[in-house]
């Protein structure tokens, strides 16, 4: 009998909820999401001036949020502009609302 994989036990919604919440699992990332949600887009340098962290640390947090699909970046050297990924942001809000009912 074949052994079931862990992913066979969980729904796609459960897996996506876990991915989004893992990416949001740091106060800096919550601040980034709130900042980007309040604006159309924001440049990396502007965020570095508003948040009390080093640019390299900010980049790591942005990468985590981007990998989870919560934000998207537009690279036009020498600047990088980030925006909320509206489609996934709406999905994340729905999944979290469903979870916390």
Q: Terminus-to-terminus CA distance in the chain, angstroms? A: 38
Confidence grade of residue 70 (pLDDT, cut at 50, 70, 90): very high
Cα 80 to the center of its chain, rounded Å: 16
| Domain definitions of the chain by residue range | 13-99
Q: Which residue has the tokens 């862990």?
A: 6
Summarize pLDDT for 24-62 with one digit per residue, the tens: 999 999 999 999 999 888 999 899 899 999 999 999 999
Confidence grade of residue 1 (pLDDT, cut at 50, 70, 90): low
Query: Which runs of E-coded beta strand occur in the chain?
Result: 42-43, 71-76, 79-84
| Residue 101: pLDDT over 70 | yes
Q: What is the mean pLDDT of the chain?
A: 91
CATH 3.40.47.10 fits 13-99, yes or no: no
């Amino acid at each position: 009998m074949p052994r079931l994989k862990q992913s066979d036990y969980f729904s796609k919604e459960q897996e996506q909820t876990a991915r989004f919440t893992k990416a949001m699992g740091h106060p800096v990332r919550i601040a980034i999401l709130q900042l980007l949600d309040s604006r159309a887009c924001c440049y990396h340098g502007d965020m570095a001036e508003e948040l009390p962290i080093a640019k390299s640390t900010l980049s790591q947090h942005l990468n985590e949020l981007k990998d989870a699909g919560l934000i998207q970046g537009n690279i036009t050297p020498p600047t990088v502009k980030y925006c909320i990924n509206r489609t996934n942001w709406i999905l994340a809000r729905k999944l979290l609302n469903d979870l916390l009912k």
